[in-house]
Structure formats: C-alpha cells, structure tokens
Structure 1
Amino acid sequence: MEPSHVSHPNFYDFLNRMRRPAAADLVRSIKSFVISFPFQTSNAEHDGNKVQDFLAMMETTIKEHPLWAHATYEEIDSAIEGLEKYIMTKLFTHTFASSSEDAKLDLEISEKNCLLQHFIKPDHLDVPRVFQNEASWLFAAKELQKINFFKAPRDKLLCIMNCCRIINNLLLDISMTTNHTPAGADDFLPILIYVTIKANPPQLHSNLKFVQLYRKHSKLVSEVEYYLTNLISAKTFITNINASSLSMDESEFHRNMQLARLASEITVNEPSGTVQLSEGSPPIVRNKYIYVEGNGYPFMEAEARDLRLEDVQQLLGLYKQVVTKYRKLSEALRQLSIDENQLLDNHQRQDMKEKIEQQLEQAGNSGGTR
C-alpha cells in the first residue's frame, strides 16, 4: 500500500514529461510495446507477465533517466503509476474480458446476483444484528458499481478500496459506540458479500482478473491485498452459493430462486414515455395517462373518446403483456405446488390457495383495463 503521506499520482505530469525532447527514447520504448502487444498470441497470464516485466524494466530506466535526476521516491512512483495507466488504457480492449470464458462468468455472476437480490437478507449470511446497517451499505455498493467507469487497474482497485473501507469504518464505529466485540474478518466478509450482491457490479469477474493481472504487483500488498482477496472470496462465494451457505432450508432456497427467475422473466420494458419514479412515489397523471412507481399504465384514466387510431397498437401490446404475465404466473404456481406441499400443512395450504386465487382474480380483472 502507498504511504498515507503520498499524494495521488499526477497522470498529466507524466504525460507532460513525455512530451519533452529528452523523453524521446522513453516514448519510443512505450510506443513499441503498445503497438506490438496486440500482434502476439493472446493469453491472459502471459499478457499479465509481459506488462509486469515491462513496468519493472521501465522503472529501472526512469530511475536512471536525466528527466528524473535527483527525483524523490514519490516522484518516481508517480511516474510508474502514470506509465501503468497510460499503457493499460491503450491496451484495454485487448486485455479486459479478453476471452469468451470471462464473458460467460461475468454473465453468470450478474444473473445470479439479480436472482439473489429478490430475497437475500443479512440474516441469511449470519451478519449479527448489531452490525446490520443497510442504509449505509448503499454508499459502499455505489462505490463498487463505479468499477466499470475506469480503464486503469489502479482506478478500478480504488473503487474496491473505497467500498471496503466504508464497510470497515462502519464496523469500527458500531464496535466503538456499542461496546461490542471489535469486528473482525468473520464479520467483514459476509457484509461484503451482501453488498456485492446488492451492488451487482458489472463484469465483476473480469474486473477482478484485470486488477490481479495488470496492477503492479508490488502495490498489491497490505490493506490493498486484504480487501482485494476478500472481494475475490465474495465472488467465489456468490458463484457457488447454495442453501447451506445461506443458512436456509434447501427447498426454501430453490423456491426463492424459482420465484426470482419468474419475477425476472415477466419483467417487461416500460412503454415509451413512462416516467421512472422512486419506490413509494405517488402516481403522476399526465395527459390522462397514469404512471406508478416506474411501471407504465397508459389509458387507466382515459375514456373512449380520448383514444386515437394509433393507440390501438399500444393497447394490443399491453393486452398481450397482461395475458403473458397471467399465463406465466399460473404456470409457476402450478410448478411450485410440490414445494408448497412440503412446506405447508393443510390449513396453511388452504390459506395460501385462497390468497393466490384472489391475486390471480385481481390480475385478471386488471388485465381488462391495462
């Protein structure tokens, strides 16, 4: 980890030095490496080693170069940081998510996170109630979601660090204010797993692999190494997640996953012109169209005289959506009947059946007006 007194590397200072005539030999070496890199057979591990070797070689060269004569350690370090950012930005399309296997893993993890988001709670990961603070964890999740905004490995790593530091600081604050036993790794990792599921950062596998391969290895130490290792562990946990890892009954886990798949399948695109609202927002009526919580319900307050010829196409599409949802709900409920029989006694099953029938009846009644 960088010493706390070191300022953030100045990338533009590195670029400005490279524009000086005295840097011509350095520029030639850098351009030669960047240009030749894509023409070699792509292999992630091999590519990572090539970048690490080049950075090490250039560090030695920069230390001996007249442009950095009498430079401090911090100035040399800043130059290497600038070099890493420059070459990895240039090589990003050749090194990030460079294989079909990476893309497949990214998609699998993202889809699993989407399903888990529907039902997972901190209790499922055995997070002590005293440490549960979902409102504050949102800030950590937002930091992790920024990871795809950047191309340099250091910048991506900072997103991970910011996320983990928020979680760790919250744990420390709670421990101090409640006189609770200081939180440790056993408390930190479950929260990081939960935050990662809720954040569902894009291309998580590829981002972690990119940082591991292309971030200068001498920088992956101490606190940085600890947090990166924990996020890798969180990714592995999510990839292999099952009922036992969530302290959940096997049948309940599969039932929740199936319901989550159903919810994902019946999610349809909002009709054009809808207004996205936050949860709990009141309906907005505009030109006799009504919008509720981000879902479009056109024509709910319209009368026959308000309809135009071109509205027929949209009405037909909405009708088909309602019927499709109804059919999928009915099919899912039929498939879940076996699980329900295992989970509920006769009295509970009867109550559940009545509630489902009421919901289906309401869905059918609403289908005629949407």
Structure 2
Amino acid sequence: MWGEQKRGIHVSQAELLCKDGCGYYGNPAWQGYCSKCWRERIRKTETNKPENGLQGDGGFQLTFSKFEEKKNVEKGRRSSTMKRLFWGTPSPPRQETSEGQEAALKAFQSLEPGDFPGFLKLLRKPISQRLHSRCTAFLNTIEAYHDLPVEKQSDLVQDFYQNIAVHFNGLPEAQLSQMMEHIEKLIMTRLHKVVFCHDSCDDEQKDLILQRRIKSLNWVTPQMLRVPFPKGGIDSDPYLPAITAIIEMDAKRAPQDKLTCVSKCSQNVFQALALTNSQPANADDFLSGLIYVVLRANPPRLHSNMNYITRFGLPHSLMAGETGYYFTNLSCTVAFIEKLDGPALNLTPEEFNSYMNGHRAPPRPLESEGQRKARENQEQMEDLQKRQENVNQGVQAFQEQLEQWVRSVQEKMDEIAAQSQLLENRLSLEKSAAIARDQSVLVLRDNASNETDPGETEC
C-alpha cells in the first residue's frame, strides 16, 4: 500500500549543496549558501552600503563625510579591540624564533588524534606560551563584552579561528584540523554560557514554537513518512539509539561535540535502515528516518543548538565531509517539519487538519503472521512472568510464616525452661526448709531428754 503511494519527502544531492556552486554543503540558516559564501555576501552588502550614499545631491555629501569620520573612529576602536583579542596587549607581539616554532609544531604533531587532555597539558608549557596567551586574552575579552550581539560575537570567533590557525601552518591538513578542533573545544566550552541562547536573538522563542509544532505532530506514523521498519520489530524501536543520541546533543558544550551527537544519530539511522533493506539506504530513506527520529525525540532547544553550531563551529566541519552532510540533512529535517502538510504525508488537507485537531487517530497497521505470533508469544511470556511473580510471592509468604512459627516455638520453649528453673529453685528451697525443720525438732527433743534425766536419778 505504502509502496504504491507517491513519496512526499525528497531531497536531491544538488539541493544540499551551496547555491553558488562552490561544491560545499549549504544550510537553510545561510539561505542555502555555505558559511564561506554567506559571509562573503554579507561583507559585499556592508561594503556597498556607503557607495549608495554617494548617489545623490550635495546634501548627502556632508552626511557621507560624517559617516566616513565615524567609520574611521570605529575602525580605530575595532583595531585596538582586535589587538586585545589576539595579543592581550596594545603592542604587537614579539616574533618567535624559528627554533621555538619548530619545537612547538613537533610537540603538537606528536599528539594522538582526539587527545584533548594532552593538548591542554601541552598548551601550558613554555613553548606554547604565545598561543596560550592569545587564547586567554580572547576569552577574557569576549566575556567582558558579553553584551555584544550574538552575530558580532560569531564574527569575532570565526575571525579568531582564521588568525589562530597561523600557529599550525607547518602541520599536515589532517593534523591542522585536529588542532583547530582542540582550539574550538577550548574556546567554546568556556564561552558556552556567554553566547548560547543569547539575549540579542530570538532562539528561545523559536525553540518553543518548534517544540509545540513537533508535539502537535505526535500522530505521524512511520508508515506516513514511509520509514522502513524491520519485520517483527513491533516490540522494540530500532531507531531508539538515534533518538537517544539527538537528545544528548543539548548536554554538550563544544560545537564539535554537538556535531558528534548529530553524526551518531545519523549513523544509527543508517544502521536501522540496513536492518530492513538488503540494499544500501538512499538519501530519501535517510531523510525520512531522520524526520521520524526528530518527531519521536522532540529534542530540547533544537533550534538554539543548531544556531550555536552554525555560528561558532569550525567552517570545515559544516561545509564538507560526513558531519557537514549529516548537519545539512538535520537542517532540512527541521525545515520540513516546520512546513509539513498533508501532501507530504499522502493525506488530503481535510485528513491532515483532522489529525492536527485530534479528531482522527492514525490507523493501526495490519499485523503479518510473524508479527501476530510474536505478539502472542510476548503475551504468553508476560502471563508466565505474572504467574512466576505470584509463585515467588507465595513462597516468600510461606517462608515468613515458617520463620514466625519457629520463633513462636522457640519462645514457648524458653518460657517452659524458665518455668522449670523456677520450679526447681522452689523445690530446692522447700527441701532446705524441711531439713532445717527436722534438725530443729531433733534439737528440741535432745534438750527435753536432758532436762528430765537428773530428776529421775534423784528419785
């Protein structure tokens, strides 16, 4: 039935790429462009604004001259601010010797992939003093200017990434990426509380809107999304690991750690799809599975987390590779959920509105023979478990009664022993008293006989 219906969820590979055709992945947050092309467009737009002021009569010339003066003052402030950001002092840094640079590069090159604790230890050594000072100065400055708009903070962080990469120019590209990921984790773990869900943006309101939207779509079934399920898998959801991974994203601080959760979620979706298909899953099946996972999970602060990644994550993590592909699909998933309608689910507008208003419940899918047997076996197992629990409860009650009877018998025996001891003591006392009486009678008799004998002799 579902195989005969037209698929409403379809995204081609070309739709995931940047609109400028640079070959990198685009993103709805950047209107379909990659981060590099998007920033270039923003810079061109800002550059063209003063030029528009020149087109006009002489009345605009004075305004433009004042604008240029203000711009130069602002430029000087930004220059001194950037020096504080990157050097920590108003004066330029001292040039490092070639020997010191080579020693630092060799030390960084010796690190194992993903060894962030080792990177922190190496950062505290004298050979990394300049790099450590720049990172510390940048962190202190951003925390001091925490009231800056979040987009401005994003620009400063991205500029810092570009400038700090000079320290690792001698490393291979793979190790350079590793070092920059360490820098990102170092910087953003500390700045998370400052820039995440900033007051200057409406991320929190969009989070609430998205959560309510997902909650209102809790009636959507895997069959409506055409998500493949393994046969007989009615008792356990094969997409549960993916659901857990996407929920864990909110607990992470560094953008790369959040991206790791997205990658883990996507890989678990592919594994669940592999259980149902003999051939590799296509892009449409993957997107359908990811939509199902997000609807089931309703991840906390999903909109804020995605904006946090796009604003403060390393560009190469989002523009190419597996992480870029997975994150682009997640962005498409959110966009699809926000615009979800009846035709995408093979429903008429009337049916879609009926489901949304709660007037209609989705039909329960027909069980196959294997599913029916599995359900019956499950019911039998539950019945046996209940019987076993009743038997265990009866055995426990019998043991408690037996222990209580043993305790009562022991108490009776102790009571009888105590009474026997008292009786023995009483008999011994009575016997001692009787002996004492007999002895006193004998003494009296002896005394009486002694008193009568002398008279008889005298007579």
If the TM-score is normalised by the length of the shorter chain, which range does it land in? 0.5 to 0.7
Contact 1:9/1:79, CA 8 A, preserved across alignment: no
Task: Note the alpha carbon deviations across 1:213-265, whole angstroms, 9 max, x for none.
Answer: 222112221222211111001111112223333322333333333339xxxxx
Partner amino acid, structure 2, of 1:238: I
Q: Report the Cα offset of residue 153 of structure 1.
A: 0.4
- Tell me the residue number matched to 2:203: 102
Partner amino acid, structure 1, of 2:152: H
Contact 1:192/1:234, CA 8 A, preserved across alignment: yes
Partner amino acid, structure 2, of 1:163: C
Alpha-carbon distance between aligned partners in 1 of 2:232 and 2:212, rounded to the nearest angstrom: 25
Gaps of 5+ in 2: 1-23, 25-110, 360-381, 387-459
Contact 1:122/1:132, CA 8 A, preserved across alignment: no
> For residues 17 and 227 of structure 1, do their structure 2 counterparts lie closer, same or farther at Cα, with a shift above 3 Å needed?
same
1:190 aligned to 288, 306, 311, which one? Answer: 288
Q: Report the Cα offset of residue 158 of structure 1.
A: 0.5
Task: Note the alpha carbon deviations across 1:43-73, whole angstroms, 9 max, x for none.
Answer: 3333323212211211212446xxxxxx665
Partner amino acid, structure 2, of 1:186: D
1:150 aligned to 224, 243, 252, which one? Answer: 252
- Tell me the residue number matched to 1:213: 311
1:125 counterpart = 2:230: no
Alpha-carbon distance between aligned partners in 1 of 2:169 and 2:122, rounded to the nearest angstrom: 14
1:77 counterpart = 2:177: yes
> For residues 7 and 203 of structure 1, do their structure 2 counterparts lie closer, same or farther at Cα, with a shift above 3 Å needed?
farther
Partner amino acid, structure 2, of 1:135: D
1:159 counterpart = 2:258: no
Alpha-carbon distance between aligned partners in 1 of 2:266 and 2:119, rounded to the nearest angstrom: 29
Gaps of 5+ in 1: 65-70, 261-279, 284-370
Contact 2:342/2:348, CA 8 A, preserved across alignment: yes
> For residues 48 and 202 of structure 1, do their structure 2 counterparts lie closer, same or farther at Cα, with a shift above 3 Å needed?
same
TM-score by length of 2: 0.49
Partner amino acid, structure 1, of 2:128: A
- Tell me the residue number matched to 2:328: 229
Q: Report the Cα offset of residue 172 of structure 1.
A: 3.6
TM-score by length of 1: 0.60
User: Matched residue of 1:84: which SS?
Assistant: helix
> For residues 46 and 100 of structure 1, do their structure 2 counterparts lie closer, same or farther at Cα, with a shift above 3 Å needed?
closer
Contact 2:226/2:288, CA 8 A, preserved across alignment: yes
- Tell me the residue number matched to 2:301: 203
User: Matched residue of 2:357: which SS?
Assistant: helix
Partner amino acid, structure 1, of 2:205: K
After superposition, residues 39-58 of structure 1 pair within 5 angstroms as 39=145, 42-58=148-164
After superposition, residues 236-251 of structure 1 pair within 5 angstroms as 236-251=335-350
Q: Report the Cα offset of residue 22 of structure 1.
A: 2.7
Q: State the aligned residue count.
A: 249
> For residues 122 and 40 of structure 1, do their structure 2 counterparts lie closer, same or farther at Cα, with a shift above 3 Å needed?
same
Alpha-carbon distance between aligned partners in 1 of 2:240 and 2:275, rounded to the nearest angstrom: 17
Partner amino acid, structure 2, of 1:24: Q
After superposition, residues 1-370 of structure 1 pair within 5 angstroms as 8-38=113-143, 39=145, 42-63=148-169, 74-98=174-198, 99-117=200-218, 119-128=219-228, 135-176=237-278, 182-220=280-318, 221-259=320-358
Instruction: Give percent identity, aligned residues only.
Output: 29
Contact 2:210/2:338, CA 8 A, preserved across alignment: yes
Alpha-carbon distance between aligned partners in 1 of 2:232 and 2:205, rounded to the nearest angstrom: 33
Contact 1:148/1:202, CA 8 A, preserved across alignment: yes
User: Matched residue of 2:299: which SS?
Assistant: coil
Partner amino acid, structure 2, of 1:148: D
Alpha-carbon distance between aligned partners in 2 of 1:156 and 1:217, rounded to the nearest angstrom: 14
> For residues 145 and 157 of structure 1, do their structure 2 counterparts lie closer, same or farther at Cα, with a shift above 3 Å needed?
same
Q: CA RMSD in A?
A: 3.0
Task: Note the alpha carbon deviations across 1:254-280, whole angstroms, 9 max, x for none.
Answer: 3333339xxxxxxxxxxxxxxxxxxx9
Q: Report the Cα offset of residue 80 of structure 1.
A: 2.0
Task: Note the alpha carbon deviations across 1:323-344, whole angstroms, 9 max, x for none.
Answer: xxxxxxxxxxxxxxxxxxxxxx
Partner amino acid, structure 2, of 1:110: Q
Alpha-carbon distance between aligned partners in 2 of 1:21 and 1:35, rounded to the nearest angstrom: 21
